[in-house]
């Protein structure tokens, strides 16, 4: 596992050269917020990283409920006994429920759907909620309940799979040939573009995603990615 620190943010990357899967620590006065739970075998490395930082994990926040973002959740919850936060909408997906609301695009939910997760969320998030220094924003598209989290101290944004930066910066649903997996797991592309525009309007100083490197001063790259997505999805 590789760890990169940028201000209050720590990026933890599993398999960085082969199939990068990121989760994050956000440092707060009372400890650490863990954003996402990576792969099923990630718990030990995450906890070891906590020891190196010297602050405890106080809460677990999930961007969405795909398997590569909630893999170690049960083990971490059992070990740490801290509250788990997820959007109200993706709490259903966390429980294995892939049904769609009547007002939602009737495209099947894709990606690694949880089947045997025992953890029940403690807090169901909605747009604008605060978690320490983070503000939660609904950014659906990759899944119906995907969320992004903006650190109001630095304007760094953790976007889950709303974007990827592996192989190039792309909106969820746009296929990057050498790393197509986020696109393959995207639920609704048009919704993903709307969420990408919402993120662009937040003017993040740094973009942190589930797959790929940290992107500093990302405004122009985000804009180009949105333009490409709009062109690609209207063909």
Indicate the SS3 state at residue 93.
helix
Residue 233 has pLDDT above 90, yes or no: no
**Residues 47-97 pLDDT 10s:** 999 999 999 999 999 999 999 999 999 999 999 999 999 999 999 999 999
**C-beta separation of 162 from 149 below 8 A:** no
Q: What is the number of domains present in the chain? A: 1
pTM of this structure:
0.97
What is the predicted pLDDT for the residue at 78? Answer: 97
Instruction: Annotate 130-143 with three-state secondary structure.
Output: EECCEEEEECCCCC
Find the distance separating the first CA and the last CA of the chain, reported in whole Å.
Answer: 39
The span from the CA of 3 to the CA of 186, in Å, is 27
**Residues 174-186 pLDDT 10s:** 999 989 999 999 9
**C-beta separation of 159 from 209 below 8 A:** yes
Residue 234 has pLDDT above 80, yes or no: no
Which CATH number fits the domain that encloses residue 151? 3.60.15.10
The span from the CA of 117 to the CA of 212, in Å, is 26
Percentage, residues of the chain above pLDDT 70: 100
> What is the domain extent for residue 152?
2-233
Q: What string of DSSP letters covers 5-17?
A: EETTEEEEEESTT
């Amino acid at each position: 596992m590789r760890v990169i620190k940028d201000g209050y943010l720590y990026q933890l990357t599993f398999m960085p050269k082969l199939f990068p899967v990121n989760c994050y620590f956000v440092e707060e006065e009372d400890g650490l917020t863990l954003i996402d739970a990576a792969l099923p075998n990630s718990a030990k490395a995450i906890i070891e990283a906590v020891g190196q930082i010297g602050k405890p994990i106080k809460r677990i926040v999930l961007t969405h409920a795909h398997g590569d973002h909630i893999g170690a959740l049960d083990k971490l919850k059992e070990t740490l006994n801290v509250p788990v936060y997820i959007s109200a909408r993706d709490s259903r997906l966390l429980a294995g429920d892939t049904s769609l609301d009547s007002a939602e695009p009737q495209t099947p939910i894709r990606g690694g759907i949880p089947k045997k997760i025992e953890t029940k969320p403690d807090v169901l998030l909605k747009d604008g909620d605060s978690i320490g220094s983070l503000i939660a924003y609904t950014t659906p598209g990759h899944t119906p309940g995907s969320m992004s989290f903006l650190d109001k101290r630095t304007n760094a944004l953790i976007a889950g799979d709303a974007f990827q930066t592996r192989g190039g910066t792309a909106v969820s649903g746009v296929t990057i040939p050498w790393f197509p997996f986020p696109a393959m797991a995207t639920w609704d592309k048009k919704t993903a573009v709307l969420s990408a525009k919402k993120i662009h309007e937040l003017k993040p100083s740094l973009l942190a995603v589930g797959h790929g490197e940290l992107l500093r001063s990302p405004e122009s790259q985000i804009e180009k990615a949105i333009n490409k997505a709009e062109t690609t999805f209207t063909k």
